[in-house]
């Protein structure tokens, strides 16, 4: 059954390969600096390397995807996103895969009565504008910087050509590597906790872990997508929107790499943090919007006369249409999966307002009177709690989310062996693992109970009231680790 | 990378050799006319055979450069432009050869009074070709300088036209048979055509330069 469910992840991988590779190599291929076959080969190699060796764990978009708690649900959400992407890629328009996936996840949230975090929707919506505008500005600046170099260059046309060609390959390979590293989690990350793959000892210290094997499979599906379908999107990015020359193609690609690095590099974030400098927020930006922004930036820097605004309009429309389409497909398919095929698309979650949870809520500083309508009751959907709590009291959505989190019953059994088996242990320090081992066999009913216990140890340091960015970052990292633990330790009970 | 650089350097040197040949042909043309005007016919014929050789080498080089650029898909954006430049520049050598060949076949008798104007026209045409070679070299190596050289080509082309016109007027003012006048007129036009061919290349070159600029 696992492999059947995995198919939708692989389909999503295929659509990602078809869509996102165009963002990286579209300009290079359409300016004929790189042959499609060569570009596809470079993309295939570096995406696979990035996915297998630096594939990030469930984070960012996947963090939200991870909230899809049943395998049947994850299958449907991935399938819905893949269908939406494929439909739009068919007309040759690049879409944002991450945003389409989020659209499908919101479909799941609505279907299963979960509260959708409005802030993440706002973040996504603002990243559409921000990534686009910023990359346009950076591309325009790079264009003005490159202009004197190109116009007054004393190097031979052929040497310039060689330089640009190699730069396109290097920057493209780097882009492909990051694409593999960042997006593989979107493709198969959700299957990590249930993967049947075990570590393969290749030679000496070289081990291909179960997670890496899964990521390799995902990477191969991306590669198939590149070879079979990415050519059309490449044309839209590299030719239809604005005629790029090799040098402007390089500028666009460099602007894309810079923007993606600025917004996605945790390393840079930590560096700025440690230097006490203001940080750039880690926002999930879309490579599609960044490259289109860069192309438009160059077009405007060249006077803006040759930009095909009708194509830009189509692309922008697709950016809005893709998540909405994914949402609708996801919602409809979840309904069919659950009611026609009788598949479990969500775990039955219970929320209880008993003595323990209510005390915790009050201790966290909430007004006991606010809980009068829910006290002593249990619920099966977040939406019902939300309605109860908002009917009489003016609680913010964030407050309600916090209360719901406390009330959620999430049975867990600490089992460090399961972390080793799934390869998840790599995400924890040896000190953290030894703390966890102390609680092996202990059961918890609520997530916050495990959190409260672990954060008493310095290995799981948490700042309830963070005072600076450094502490906020520490909290964020710990929350990600805790989410891993919750999923890994979950047991069926009650 | 070193292999690619080697290929690049090889084509670079081929283009340079091609342009050297164009420049040499122009200088040889001037010397050949000088020899002819001074009645040194065997030397003139030597120059003509040199030009013939230049023409063959230039043709071979051009074809080889074209093949390399296409086979290795180099400079895809400018490939067509570069080939057009090379082909049109090659026509300058063809013009030079045709002109000298006509001299060799028809052996026109040129009155001594016309020698000075004849040489001046030739020198102006040759100067246009030499400036063209500078312009083409700059197109590859120093884009900013191309327009200066193009400007010079246009200047010498106009100069060749003006002196050529004076030459033709003088031909028809000279006391010789009409048939000879008519024959000499065509030879004068032949010499002017060399600078016209240089100008044609420059017309394209100026557009290609704009295309290459950011």
Contact at CB, B144 and A151, closer than 8 angstroms: yes
DSSP one-letter code for A490: B
Alpha-carbon distance B87 to B67, whole Å?
Answer: 13
Chain B nearest-CA distance from A288, in A, is 25
Burial of B109 (0-12, 13-18, 19+ CB in 10 A): exposed
Enter the ipTM. 0.88
**Residues A457 and A431 sit within 8 Å (Cβ to Cβ):** no
Distance (Å, rounded) from C-alpha B132 to C-alpha B138? 10
Say if CB A474 and CB A273 are below 8 A apart: no
DSSP annotation string for A28-41: HHHTTSS-HHHHHH
Given a contact cutoff of 8 angstroms between Cβ atoms, the answer to whether A78 and A12 are in contact is: yes
Closest Cα in chain B, distance from residue A127 (Å): 30
3-state SS, A186-236, equals HHHHHHHHHCCCCCEEEECCEEECHHHHHHHHHHHHHHHHHHHHCHHHHHH
| Nearest alpha-carbon partner for A172 in A110, A226, A242, A228 | A226
CATH code, B174: 1.20.58.220
Task: Specify the pLDDT at position A56.
Answer: 59
Coil, strand or helix: which one is B58? helix
Contacting residues of B for A157, CB less than 8 Å apart: 75, 78, 82, 139-141, 212
**Over 70: is that where the pLDDT of B137 sits?**
yes
Helix (H, G, I), strand (E, B) or coil at A378: strand
- Do B214 and A247 count as a contact with CB atoms less than 8 A apart? yes
Q: What single-letter DSSP state applies at residue A114?
A: P
List the structure tokens of A79. Answer: 């399938």
Q: Taking an 8 Å Cβ-Cβ cutoff, which residues of chain A contact chain B?
A: 31-33, 35, 143, 146-147, 150-159, 161-162, 166, 245-248, 302
Asked if B140 and A158 come within 8 Å (Cβ–Cβ), the reply is yes
Give the pLDDT of residue A464: 84
Whether B147 and B54 have beta carbons less than 8 Å apart is answered as no
Which pLDDT score, from 0 to 100, does residue A275 have? 84
Q: What digits encode the pLDDT tens for the residues B29-52?
A: 999 999 999 999 999 999 999 999
Residues in chain A: 494
Query: Across the interface, which of A35, A146, A157 has its CB nearest the CB of B214?
Result: A146
- Which segments of chain A have a pLDDT < 50? 58, 61, 65
Contact status, residue A128 vs residue B119, Cβ threshold 8 Å: no
Q: What global pTM score does this model have? A: 0.81
Please give the residue of chain A at the shortest CA–CA distance from B7.
A158
Closest to B213 (Cβ–Cβ): which among A151, A154, A156? Answer: A151
Asked if residues A255 and A290 have their Cβ atoms less than 8 Å apart, the reply is: yes
Asked whether A292 and A315 are in contact (CB, 8 A), the reply is: yes
Q: State phi, psi for A348 to the nearest 5 degrees.
A: -75, 110
Alpha carbon distances (Å) from A273 to A59, A209, A429? 20, 32, 21
* Rounded Cα distance, A111 and A106, in Å: 8
Choose from A33, A36, A145, A158 for mutation: most chain B CBs within 10 A: A158
Q: Which two tokens stand for residue A452?
A: 């409260």
**Whole-number Å distance between alpha carbons of A371 and A353:** 9
| Cβ-Cβ contacts under 8 Å, B73 against chain A | 32, 35
Q: How many angstroms separate the CA atoms of A94 and A111, rounded?
A: 28
Look at residue B24 and tell me whether its pLDDT is greater than 80: yes
The encoded tokens of residue A336 equal 């069919």
Q: Is A493 left (phi over 0), alpha (psi -120 to 50) or beta?
A: beta
For the stretch B101-114, pLDDT in tens is 999 999 999 999 99
Task: Report CB contact under 8 Å: A157, B141.
Answer: yes
> Residue A385's Cα: distance from chain center in Å?
28
Q: Which two tokens stand for residue B140?
A: 């590859």
pLDDT for res A58: 45
- What is the total count of domains within chain B? 1
Chain A positions touching B213 (Cβ under 8 A) are 150-151
Q: Chain A: nearest CA to B77, how far in angstroms?
A: 7
Q: Which of A31, A158, A247 sits opposite B8 (nearest CB)?
A: A158
Contact A154 B141 (CB under 8 A): yes
C-alpha span between B162 and B184 (Å, rounded): 17
Q: Are A65 and A208 in contact (CB under 8 A)?
A: no
Q: Is the CB of residue B188 less than 8 Å from the CB of residue B164?
A: yes
Distance from CA of A63 to the nearest CA of B (A): 42
- Report chain B residues touching chain A, CB-CB < 8 A: 1, 4-5, 8, 11-12, 73-78, 82, 139-144, 212-214
Domain that holds residue B188: 2-212
Point out the residue among B12, B77, B212 whose CB comes nearest to the CB of A156: B12
Q: How far is A152 from chain B (nearest CA, A)?
A: 5
Q: Which residue in the block uniquely carries the two structure tokens 């030499």?
A: B130
- Distance, CA of A387 to chain centre: 30
CB-count burial class (<10 Å; 0-12, 13-18, 19+) for B43: middle
Query: Would you list the domain boundaries of chain A?
Result: 2-339, 350-409, 412-489
A330, A75 contact by CB (below 8 A)? no
């Amino acid at each position: 059954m696992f492999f059947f469910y995995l198919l939708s992840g692989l389909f999503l991988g295929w659509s990602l390969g078809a869509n996102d590779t165009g963002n990286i190599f579209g300009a290079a291929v359409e300016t004929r600096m790189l042959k499609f076959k060569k570009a596809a080969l470079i993309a295939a190699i570096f995406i696979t390397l990035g996915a297998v060796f630096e594939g990030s764990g469930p984070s960012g978009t996947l963090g939200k995807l991870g909230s899809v708690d049943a395998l049947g649900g994850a299958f449907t959400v991935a399938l819905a996103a893949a269908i939406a992407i494929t439909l739009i890629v068919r007309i040759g328009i690049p879409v944002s895969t991450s945003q389409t996936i989020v659209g499908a996840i919101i479909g799941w949230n609505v279907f299963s009565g979960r509260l959708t975090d409005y802030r993440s929707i706002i973040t996504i919506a603002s990243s559409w504008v921000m990534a686009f505008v910023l990359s346009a500005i950076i591309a325009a600046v790079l264009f003005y910087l490159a202009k004197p170099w190109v116009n007054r260059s004393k190097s031979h046309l052929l040497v310039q050509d060689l330089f640009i060609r190699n730069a396109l390959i290097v920057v493209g390979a780097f882009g492909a590597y990051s694409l593999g590293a960042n997006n593989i989690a979107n493709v198969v990350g959700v299957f990590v906790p249930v993967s049947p793959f075990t570590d393969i000892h290749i030679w000496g210290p070289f081990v291909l872990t179960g997670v890496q094997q899964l990521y390799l499979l995902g990477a191969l599906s991306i590669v198939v997508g590149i070879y079979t379908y990415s050519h059309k999107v490449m044309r839209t990015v590299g030719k239809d929107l604005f005629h790029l020359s090799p040098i402007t193609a390089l500028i666009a690609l460099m602007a894309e790499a810079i923007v993606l690095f600025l917004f996605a590099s945790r390393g840079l974030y930590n560096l700025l943090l440690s230097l006490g400098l203001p940080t750039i927020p880690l926002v999930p930006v879309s490579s599609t919007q960044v490259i289109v922004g860069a192309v438009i930036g160059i077009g405007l820097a060249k006077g803006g006369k040759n930009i095909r605004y009708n194509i830009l309009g189509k692309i922008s429309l697709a950016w809005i249409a893709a998540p909405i389409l994914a949402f609708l497909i996801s919602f409809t398919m979840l309904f069919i999966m659950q009611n026609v095929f009788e598949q479990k698309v969500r775990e039955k979650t219970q929320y209880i307002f008993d003595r323990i949870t209510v005390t915790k809520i009050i201790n966290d500083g909430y007004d006991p009177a606010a809980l009068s309508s829910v006290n002593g009751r249990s619920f099966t959907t977040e939406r019902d709690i939300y309605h109860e709590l908002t009917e009489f009291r003016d609680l913010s959505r964030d407050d309600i989310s916090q209360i719901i989190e406390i009330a959620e019953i999430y049975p867990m059994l600490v089992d460090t062996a399961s972390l080793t088996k799934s390869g998840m242990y790599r995400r924890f320090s040896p000190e953290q693992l030894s703390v966890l081992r102390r609680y092996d066999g202990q059961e918890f009913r609520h997530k916050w109970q495990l959190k409260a216990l672990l954060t008493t140890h310095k290995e799981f340091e948490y700042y309830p009231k963070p005072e600076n960015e450094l502490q906020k970052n520490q909290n964020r990292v710990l929350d990600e680790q805790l989410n891993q633990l919750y999923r890994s330790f979950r047991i069926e009970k009650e | 990378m070193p292999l690619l650089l080697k290929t690049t350097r090889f084509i670079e040197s081929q283009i340079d050799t091609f342009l050297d040949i164009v420049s040499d042909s122009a200088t040889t043309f001037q010397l050949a006319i000088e020899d002819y005007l001074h009645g040194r016919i065997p030397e003139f014929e030597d120059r003509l055979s040199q030009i013939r050789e230049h023409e063959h080498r230039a043709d071979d080089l051009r074809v080889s450069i074209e093949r390399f650029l296409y086979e290795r898909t180099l400079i895809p954006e400018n490939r067509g432009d570069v080939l057009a430049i090379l082909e049109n520049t090659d026509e300058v050598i063809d013009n030079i050869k045709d002109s000298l060949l006509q001299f060799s076949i028809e052996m026109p008798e040129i009155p001594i009074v016309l020698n000075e104007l004849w040489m001046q026209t030739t020198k102006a045409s040759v100067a246009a070709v030499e400036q063209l070679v500078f312009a083409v070299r700059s197109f590859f190596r120093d884009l900013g300088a191309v327009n200066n050289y193009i400007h010079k080509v246009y200047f010498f082309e106009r100069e060749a036209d003006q002196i050529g016109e004076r030459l033709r007027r003088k031909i028809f003012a000279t006391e010789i048979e009409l048939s000879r006048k008519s024959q000499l007129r065509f030879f004068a036009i032949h010499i002017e055509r060399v600078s016209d061919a240089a100008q044609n290349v420059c017309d394209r070159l100026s557009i290609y330069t704009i295309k290459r600029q950011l």
